[in-house]
Amino acid sequence: PDFIDATRAAFELIGKPWVIENVPGAPLHDPVELCGAMFGLGTYRHRLFESNIDLTAPEHPEHVAKVTKMGRPPVAGEFMHVVGNFSGVAEARAAMGIDWMTRDGLREAIPPAYSEWVGRHLIASVA
């Protein structure tokens, strides 16, 4: 089920700063898109962020690195596509800037660099 509208409505009732994250194609209102290349990561991992505060995404660099094919670890210079039953947990941890997660966690995770970026915007909005 799609709970985005209900979540947004609940957040609006609270009246505090909020952020909703989802994947490209999700029905978010005027979201910004973050990409691993914006943060020097080894994955593109596009994610959308909608908020009731001003979010201005960093410059989105051109995608020039090849993305590793599903089922095999990346070779030098390739970005990693961390989804499903990917190969190379250690490589995925490095690509996403996460050193503590299992495969199951990694394939669902938001890179900490994205969370830090959102958090800085939230803090600035209430300062």
pTM for the structure as a whole: 0.93
Q: 18: helix, coil or strand?
A: coil
pLDDT tens column, 16-39: 999 999 999 999 999 999 999 999
What tokens were used for 6? 């209900």
Predicted pLDDT of residue 20: 97
User: Nearest Cα to 44, choosing from 82, 93, 89, 84?
Assistant: 82
Predicted pLDDT of residue 71: 76
User: For residue 110, what are the domain limits?
Assistant: 4-126
pLDDT-derived band at 1, boundaries 50, 70, 90: confident
What tokens were used for 109? 């995770």
Predicted pLDDT of residue 99: 95
- Compute the distance between CA of residue 118 and CA of residue 99 in angstroms, rounded to an integer: 20
When pLDDT is averaged across residues 115-122 and rounded to a whole number, the result is: 97
pLDDT tens column, 57-111: 999 999 999 998 877 778 888 999 998 888 889 999 999 999 999 999 999 999 9
Q: How many domains does the chain have?
A: 1
What tokens were used for 58? 């960093």
Q: Count each helix (H run) and each strand (E run) in the chain, helices first.
A: 4, 3
| Residue 43 burial class via C-beta count within 10 angstroms: exposed 0-12, middle 13-18, buried 19 and up | buried
What tokens were used for 104? 């199951």
pLDDT tens column, 38-48: 999 999 999 99
Q: What is the number of alpha carbons within 13 Å of residue 97 lying toward its C-beta? A: 18
Predicted pLDDT of residue 69: 81
